Structure 1
Amino acid sequence: MSLFSGWRAALRIARRDAMRAKGRSALVVAMIALPVLGVTAADVTYRSATPTRAEELTAVMGAADAQYTDPGLGRVPIQQVPDQSAWRSGDEAAGPRQGEERKPVDVPATFPKGSRFLTERSVPASVTTAHGITNTEITELRTADRMLRGRIELVDGAFPHGKGEIAVTEAFLKSSGLHIGSRLTVRGPDLAYTVTGSVELPDALGKQTLYADPGAVIAPWKAAADRDDRILPPNPNRTEWLVQGPKGAGVTWPDVLAANEKGVLVLSRRLVLDPPPDSEIPLASQMSGRDDGGLVMSTAVITVVAMTVLEIVLLAGPAFAVGARRSRRQLGLVGACGGDRSQVRAVVLAGGVVLGGAGTVLGVLLGLGLTLVFRPLIEGYTGNRFGGLTLHPAELLAIALLGLVTGVLAALVPAVMAGRQSILESLTGRRGTRRSSRVLPVLGSLTLAGGVAIAVYGGVSGETPLVAGGSVIAELGVLACIPVIIGFLGRLGRRLPLTPRMALRDAARNRGRTAPAVAAVMAAVAGTVAVATYASSAMAEQDYDYSPVLTKGTSALVAEDPSAARKLPGARAAVERNMPVSGGRSDVGRVWAGSDCYVYYQEENGCGTLELVKPTGKGHTCPLKGRGAKELAARLSAEEHKRLTNSPACMDEYMSLTSFGTDTNKIVTGDASLLSAYVKLDDPAAAKALKAGTPVLLNPAYAKNGEVTLKAVHTYNPRDKKNLALHPGKARTTTDRLKVYVAPAKYTATPGIRMIMPQPTAERLGLHTQIHASVYTTTRPPTEAEKQATSAAIDQAGGSAHVITENGSSSREDAILLILALFAGVVTLGAAAITTGLAKADAEADLTTLAAVGAAPGVRRSLSGFQCVVVALTGVLLGTAAGIVPAVALRLLDLRDAMGQMRLQPLNSAYTPIVLPWLTIGLLAVVVPVLAGLLAAGLTRSRLTLSRRAG
């Protein structure tokens, strides 16, 4: 028999066997199709969502040939590379001459002769909405022009035409509550416009901006400002020109060089797609090399492919093994009829070809279909439209071959085992007895220990490849130990009830079926736990490094300037009416000496100053500043550094942010309500001190023997006529020692406040005060609609105050952790269900025996449920342990980098905690196994139809 005819017979037998055992065949096809589906969908989505260079240019300039930009250097020659990624001014070495007035550039004069162009100008503006008022950007651009197709697309309505019309993006329409036909007003000049249509930017779907025709906004705004001094003139952010060169010519390199000579930057489509030789580019010799991310991308691709192969082999392999055992009589007949071992193996391998091919085709087709179905959701998540559904036939063919080859690999071990089985055992149905390997667990333990050591060493030494390699080696070591672990679990069931004892013993007796499924669960859970642990640890680090602008659960109403402070009563009513505030308010006052630098910020030499003088010595001077700071930082552990940077002596050295308009000295006036509502200091002694005129100091490092030193320079600006009349004479400096109430050190980090001074005390010291903010406690973060409504109400009250809120650090990663947990849960449920189905197919004779000896009908259900729980729980626990290894190694790598930064800047935080995602682990370790067991028990028939003995 020829090789071809032998394989043809094997394929025919495999196809007929697959059709006879439809359930088992569908299971194998699903196991091969699912990973192929995922890889296909990921490949098509990545290729479609990643814009080509031509698509990137279309997103920038639409159908134009080039984008011209004035960098603001005047007529100074510049040099650039074709893609505008690098440029410099031609006289950069000499630098601009002081006092030289740079002449503006006539940019349109640099366009190629015969060109057509559009002018684009953008200006920040405050506009009315359905909810109130919001800040946004308005762009003057003729959006109806065909040159902009591909950059700005009309979604609904019509493009604006004329000076009273405007178009808005879909994101702005949703946020503002407006609709097509609504009227909005540009505040300041009070220009009204009608919303004629909604548009979208294919590369920035979430951007909120408005579009009007040239001359519709900026020119009338400027005219209104010229007529009324109270209206601030428009301040355009940028001006650009989109140019369409002479027909068929585009914008050439000589055109770019000519524009560069006059100080204009040019981004030409033709030159980016087909750049000139380096010999023609003056800046080519100074171009930085490209950042080669090929190694990282190749590593990621190899990892994904390896995980896909491993997942298929681990899950589909046991199915082929069970299939081979179920077909052992047929395989025995092949041998009895003269077939040799290679032909028996070929029959089993042919099953891998048949089922692998079916799974591959199904997976590729479903991957393409799901990408099409979920394309709108993917585009909304990524924030940009696909340029088109991009298919790479070579990559899809490689994915299909991967699925086919992996199906064959999954059948390889069962084929070898079937080839070794004697004909007598096959025909009589005896399985024989195989002893477990004693060498494999020893090698696995050594591999596990070596992998952990390599990963930890990689994290400590900063070698990322060692971290990845060590983690993989450690996981392989755990895989090698799984059969022994399962055998040990079988011994734990001696004192358990019947069904869990049978489930454990069945898992231990059939390790060839149970171990791969446990390993598949472990692989999925390990990756999830690794990413979740790293993400939760990074979140804890971000929370630690986050500098709040207000204390938690508070909002502040802040006056824009001293004149607006007098209009705070109306603004307070607006906040209390529209914001989710609770309880009363607390008013905050500014304190200053001499003329107010808040007003005369352009003439600081004529302003007074006020500061708390920090004493020197231990407990007052931060040891992380000055001589010996770097040496000290090098000796500190991350936790010691954390405690030191959080100490009162060092807190203000790196957390000097001000809040709600406070000055850099962070001295405010207030009463006891400020202590309870904002500082969260419920101390009757502190409230009593304020009432008695004693300041409350929140940072103990500024106090010595219960007193602080307050230094004030009383200088009055010549423009400050009122204060000059009240305080004639020369500038003077005063230094006062004040007895203070020192709050506990934990209140040192209160945002924006270092010391609260009673207003009578400030006036007694010759200082000036003014209430300029009010602090509120909020029940929840305000919505965008509530913020817009509050801004509108404040504007109607005639105030120019604004509201700031404290929402805490971002917790977006919580969604990522939930998605990871769901992914691992689905894989765990799938692997457990597969193993349970295989166990039922493989142990049909045992179940028949149970029914024959009088076992209750519910035993079958509970046995299936406990079999599922055994696989799921064992895989989750092992996966959790394996996943912690790479996470810890990566955090050690982060710690090494943080310690290096700390040695350069001793005040930099080196806090890199390792935080386990207990919610994710709990979901996987408790909820998923229980759910798997309940589903398996619920979907299993309790009654069994006894089969009649053949023969």
Structure 2
Amino acid sequence: MLVAAMLALPVAGAAAADTLYHTVTLTAAEQLGRDVGRADARVDFVAPAAVEQLPDGSVPAPPQAAAMLSGALRGVQIASPVEAGVLPVGSRVVALPDKQQVRVRSAHGSYTVQIAERDLGDPLLGGLYQRIGGRAPRGVGEVTLSTSLLASLGRHVGDEVSVEYLNGSEQPGPDGRLPDHGLRIVGEYDEPSHLDADEVLAFPGTVPEPVDYVGAAHWLAQVPGGLSWAQVLRLNQGGYAAESRVVVLDPPADGLVPLLRDHQGAVAGNSRLTEALVAVGAVGVVMALMEVVLLAGPAFAVGARKRRRDFGLMGAAGADQRMVRAVVLADGAVLGAVGGVAGVVVGVGLGRLALPEAVRLTHREPGAFRVSLAELALAAVLGVVTGLIAALIPAIITARQHVLQALTGGRRGARGVPWRLASLGVLVLGGGVAATGYAVFQPGIHTVPLVAGIAVSELGVVACTPMVVALVGKFGRALPLTGRMALRDSARNRGRTAPAVAAILAAVAGSTAVATLLATEDARGRAQYHSTLRPGQVALMFGWAAANESAAGSRAGMRFDGLDTGPDAQPVDSRKAIAAIGATLPVRSAAVVMSQDFNGFVPIRVVVKRTPGNDCPFFGANSAPISAGADGESMIQADPRCTAAFSGGQVVPGDAATLRALTGTVDPAAEKVLAEGGMVVFNRYDLDGFDPVTGQGKATVALQRSCPPDGADMPEELRKQFGPYCSGPAPADTTLPAAVASAKDHSAVSGVRALIPQAVADKYGAKYVPSMILFDTTRMPTRAEEERANAAAESLGTTALLKVERGYQGGEDTAMLALAAVAAFVTLGAAAIATGLAITDSEADLETLAAVGARPRVRRTLAGSQATITAVLGTVLGSATGLVPAVAIIEARSHSFVQSAADARGGFLGVSRAVHAQSYLAIPWWFLIGTVVVVPVLAGIGAASVTRSKVEIRRRRG
């Protein structure tokens, strides 16, 4: 039963995972229902120029493209595809306006959520939203709320909810608050792909149009006969993209898709990524099956030894080795078949039971419950194959035993050290390390050598495990009685101990590798974290600064429509804001920071102009090439001239109060330069003629214009936007006396490159507006104070965003704890199996000890010692082995990042294809210590606690 259960376990896991995968993964038809509802296509306006799209409707574009387009189209009305004539005659469209932000009142405060105008009664929208209760809105002022939002507000269908529109269409009243609007909740509707979304759906016409509204950019279309790929290409020529039901269900060949035909580099990159994911998944499956074989093999061996008298009688009756092998292999086939069938049945049931939990974790409604009979049959066959492989070596060993020894019950443990197998293991390990090294350090991306090298290296370590177990047995004389017995028994019966150790090794190696990757990712994030604030400082951001900060915490490329960023939006009353925030936080001082206003299309920027000797040598048209094999990222970060590339920042007007807010200290010399009409920079390489004694020199600011070259072919709408900024020669550069300042802790000041006089800013025609208020605090604000400050910020009547700088927070430890739990579970399970087999196999020795007067607790202590020894050997070897693939993957990633970019672009910024980025290797020491120390102790305590102390002495046969 134990062997059958072990063989059924991976089959059940594979069947459950396969069932969940097929159920959660939507078919093309199911995905279309959520994307286009019952319409024939979803059409999106992308740009006032021809675009290229993929058959699924997506248009690859940089994240900032949407913001640039929004500015370029300010005041230009977007035409629907029917009005533009890009859809066939007889087509009908339903507009899907962009989601906007509203503030919803609740008993505990308020929530800022998204609202979208949707006519849920239109048949084309069927499938986009899931009705939970109530009905669809039928008139202005009626809304539906998502289940999540209803629960947060404590409201029900039939109640009324009060909202404030944050799209700039309304102005605050005398009390500083936006007008409240009462909306009636008539239904509960969820978006199937975002069940956790806090969302309001309103009847069209309920929400006032935002400032500079240019019309809807998304539509559901009903097209006679469907929308073909040829018609989609015609849409693309007009600047529209479409996800068509006909095209998705019957996609065109790659040669007919211009985007795939003209950009082979991107296709190759995606192909390499897919190959890598498939290869890593295959290695994981093979390693999991290997663990089962390693654990089930000793169980077959112990079972065969307990039946050795039966096999001896077979031999005495004339059975040859082939027949004995067939009997043991038949055990493996039968138990494998039982485990395979049972595992499939249990796995499908587990998959069905786990479906609600999968929905809770993914927040997505699954598709229809589906099972793949072919894949489940393959999983059952894997159970049979695994059973046969696990029984193979015990069958060979059993067939070779002498008939007389089998009949008399005599047995000898293994003696000596298995040097031959260990030598083979060392050779295999060396080959794996060589393949991994080649994949990492050779130019290009080498997925197969990398994955194969990792797998082969682990197999080499597994082959060396019997030798390690044998060598460790020689240290038994230094241990007390039970420890000495346990260690020597493990060494003499290494055919039973080594597979258990290897199984623990494989599990711990995998968890150690993933834990190291997570720790390294956290170290990378910590090293690359650049905040615009100092620890403990608070910023109240509004306008475009708040929009950028919100977008930084969201998915890349996602727009936050409806934020108060329009040119007509009312700014925050600085005095009122300082008073409101100062009443809730331990504020020491406050200052208003100006920023260039990038609302609309503004292709100009005030910058600091450096001398050629002070400029970063790795950027720009005349950048120096980085030699092959060099750590390019470390070289850039180590060069102080390149600091601005990471800290960034604008050139803004400011005074002494602004300087103190940015640096957190008083710098009389720098404040004097500002007062006399000079400027302050925060990097000494921005100065020309830097005097280290006075910390002063000269600095130059210039107007950077991003204008199209003369004669460039571009839409007239875009050309008009450049006109006010690109006509005539650019203003001359301005050189001023300058001082260099630094933060209180001598760290770099991020977000602001330099402070200049207001007169210089006016000279260049760049418009500056207040973007944030910086508050210096006497200590780090508490979470409660931050919540009260957020409430105060909301009461100002705008979309101001409050941020408290708490430094790098890092990722959650949930993933690391889950890995530790998995490693502990496998380790404890393998140690328990090995200990149970050892006790069963050494029953005669325990009976002998009891007969000569050993205390009953000896058996319990011996079991604990055996479990601890097995767990210690496995966790130590696994921890060391797991670092090898982790280091390889980290190094491969640092190399392939720049190489992929070079492959796609044919080289850029003078970077060689062999240049690699900086590696942030971090060892998770607490995880390793817990795995090597705590888990074996738990294994020993658990084995000792469940083992019976009393030994029953039975009459010996023979």
Scaled by the length of structure 2, the TM-score of the pair is 0.78
Say yes or no: does 1:836 pair with 2:835: yes
Any idea what SS the aligned residue of 1:935 has? helix
Whole-angstrom distance in 1 between the partners of 2:86 and 2:135:
33
- Give yes or no for contact 1:328–1:426 (8 Å, CA) kept in 2: yes
The structural deviation recorded for 1:468 is: 1.5
- Percent identity among equivalent residues? 35
Whole-angstrom distance in 2 between the partners of 1:547 and 1:433:
62
* Structure 1 counterpart of 2:774: 774
The structural deviation recorded for 1:651 is: 0.9
Please list every run of 5 or more consecutive structure 1 residues that lacks an aligned counterpart in the other structure.
1-25, 89-97, 223-230, 658-662, 715-730, 763-767
Say yes or no: does 1:527 pair with 2:510: yes
- Give yes or no for contact 2:137–2:144 (8 Å, CA) kept in 1: yes
Distance 1:747 1:114, change over 3 A: same
Say yes or no: does 1:948 pair with 2:924: no
The structural deviation recorded for 1:161 is: 2.5
Give the letter for the 2:814 counterpart: A
Distance 1:306 1:281, change over 3 A: closer
* Structure 1 counterpart of 2:587: 584
The structural deviation recorded for 1:894 is: 2.4
Whole-angstrom distance in 2 between the partners of 1:602 and 1:275:
37
- Give yes or no for contact 2:608–2:699 (8 Å, CA) kept in 1: yes
Q: 1:624 aligns with which of 602, 607, 618?
A: 618
- Give yes or no for contact 1:86–1:287 (8 Å, CA) kept in 2: no
Distance 1:409 1:183, change over 3 A: same
May I ask how many residue pairs the two structures share in their alignment?
851
User: Which of the two has higher C-alpha Rg?
Assistant: 1
* Structure 2 counterpart of 1:737: 737
* Structure 1 counterpart of 2:293: 313
Q: 1:168 aligns with which of 145, 154, 161?
A: 145
* Structure 2 counterpart of 1:479: 462
Distance 1:183 1:459, change over 3 A: same
* Structure 1 counterpart of 2:722: none
Distance 1:511 1:742, change over 3 A: closer
* Structure 2 counterpart of 1:932: 939
Q: 1:272 aligns with which of 226, 232, 248?
A: 248
- Give yes or no for contact 2:538–2:803 (8 Å, CA) kept in 1: yes
CA deviation map 1:793-825 (0-9, x unaligned): 222xxx664323446557346432322222122
Give the letter for the 1:59 counterpart: R
- Give yes or no for contact 1:697–1:743 (8 Å, CA) kept in 2: no
The structural deviation recorded for 1:525 is: 1.2
Say yes or no: does 1:644 pair with 2:638: yes
The structural deviation recorded for 1:838 is: 0.6
Q: Which 10-residue stretch deviates more, 335-344 or 422-431?
A: 335-344
Distance 1:710 1:261, change over 3 A: closer
* Structure 1 counterpart of 2:204: 214
Q: 1:918 aligns with which of 898, 911, 925?
A: 925
The structural deviation recorded for 1:473 is: 1.8
Whole-angstrom distance in 1 between the partners of 2:668 and 2:20:
61
* Structure 1 counterpart of 2:451: 468
* Structure 2 counterpart of 1:655: 647
The structural deviation recorded for 1:398 is: 0.3
Distance 1:747 1:154, change over 3 A: farther
Whole-angstrom distance in 2 between the partners of 1:668 and 1:178:
49
Task: List aligned pairs for 1:67-106, cutoff 5 A.
Answer: 67-71=42-46, 73=48, 83-84=56-57, 104=79
Distance 1:485 1:756, change over 3 A: same
Task: List aligned pairs for 1:135-146, cutoff 5 A.
Answer: 135-146=112-123
Say yes or no: does 1:441 pair with 2:425: no
CA deviation map 1:287-310 (0-9, x unaligned): 977954764465345324322321
Distance 1:689 1:241, change over 3 A: closer
- Give yes or no for contact 2:618–2:636 (8 Å, CA) kept in 1: no
Whole-angstrom distance in 2 between the partners of 1:384 and 1:539:
28
The structural deviation recorded for 1:367 is: 1.5
CA deviation map 1:143-201 (0-9, x unaligned): 24454333210124433222111113334445666554241324244443123333222
* Structure 2 counterpart of 1:239: 218
* Structure 1 counterpart of 2:7: 32
Any idea what SS the aligned residue of 1:199 has? strand
Distance 1:472 1:87, change over 3 A: closer
The structural deviation recorded for 1:831 is: 0.6
* Structure 1 counterpart of 2:190: 200
- Give yes or no for contact 1:205–1:383 (8 Å, CA) kept in 2: yes
* Structure 2 counterpart of 1:669: 656
Distance 1:650 1:890, change over 3 A: same
Give the letter for the 1:631 counterpart: P
Any idea what SS the aligned residue of 1:942 has? coil
* Structure 1 counterpart of 2:895: 896
Whole-angstrom distance in 1 between the partners of 2:834 and 2:503:
11
Any idea what SS the aligned residue of 2:796 has? helix
Give the letter for the 1:775 counterpart: F
Q: 1:794 aligns with which of 786, 793, 796?
A: 796
Any idea what SS the aligned residue of 2:42 has? strand
Give the letter for the 2:249 counterpart: L
Any idea what SS the aligned residue of 2:386 has? helix
Distance 1:932 1:742, change over 3 A: closer
Distance 1:165 1:634, change over 3 A: same
Say yes or no: does 1:424 pair with 2:425: no
- Give yes or no for contact 1:585–1:774 (8 Å, CA) kept in 2: no
Scaled by the length of structure 1, the TM-score of the pair is 0.79
Say yes or no: does 1:452 pair with 2:426: no
The structural deviation recorded for 1:205 is: 2.8
* Structure 2 counterpart of 1:502: 485
The structural deviation recorded for 1:884 is: 1.5
Whole-angstrom distance in 1 between the partners of 2:572 and 2:78:
44
The structural deviation recorded for 1:935 is: 0.9
* Structure 2 counterpart of 1:5: none
Distance 1:396 1:800, change over 3 A: closer
Whole-angstrom distance in 1 between the partners of 2:457 and 2:603:
63
Any idea what SS the aligned residue of 1:473 has? helix
The structural deviation recorded for 1:116 is: 6.6
Whole-angstrom distance in 1 between the partners of 2:599 and 2:422:
78
The structural deviation recorded for 1:380 is: 2.8
Task: List aligned pairs for 1:677-692, cutoff 5 A.
Answer: 679=663, 686=667
- Give yes or no for contact 1:690–1:757 (8 Å, CA) kept in 2: no
Whole-angstrom distance in 2 between the partners of 1:262 and 1:598:
31
The structural deviation recorded for 1:631 is: 3.4
CA RMSD of aligned residues (A): 4.4
Say yes or no: does 1:347 pair with 2:330: no
Distance 1:40 1:603, change over 3 A: closer
- Give yes or no for contact 1:27–1:834 (8 Å, CA) kept in 2: no
The structural deviation recorded for 1:771 is: 10
Q: 1:571 aligns with which of 563, 566, 577?
A: 577
Distance 1:443 1:136, change over 3 A: same
Say yes or no: does 1:65 pair with 2:40: yes
Distance 1:262 1:386, change over 3 A: same
Q: 1:699 aligns with which of 683, 692, 702?
A: 683
Distance 1:113 1:87, change over 3 A: farther
The structural deviation recorded for 1:589 is: 3.8
Give the letter for the 1:831 counterpart: A
Whole-angstrom distance in 1 between the partners of 2:278 and 2:739:
66
Give the letter for the 1:794 counterpart: L
- Give yes or no for contact 1:611–1:712 (8 Å, CA) kept in 2: yes
- Give yes or no for contact 1:186–1:192 (8 Å, CA) kept in 2: no
Whole-angstrom distance in 2 between the partners of 1:741 and 1:270:
62
Whole-angstrom distance in 2 between the partners of 1:303 and 1:150:
39
Q: 1:184 aligns with which of 152, 162, 181?
A: 162
Q: Which 10-residue stretch deviates more, 125-134 or 474-483?
A: 125-134
* Structure 2 counterpart of 1:152: 129
- Give yes or no for contact 2:24–2:366 (8 Å, CA) kept in 1: yes
The structural deviation recorded for 1:481 is: 1.1
Please list every run of 5 or more consecutive structure 2 residues that lacks an aligned counterpart in the other structure.
62-72, 171-178, 544-566, 704-730, 762-767
Say yes or no: does 1:327 pair with 2:304: no
Q: Which 10-residue stretch deviates more, 749-758 or 437-446?
A: 749-758
The structural deviation recorded for 1:514 is: 0.3
The structural deviation recorded for 1:840 is: 0.9
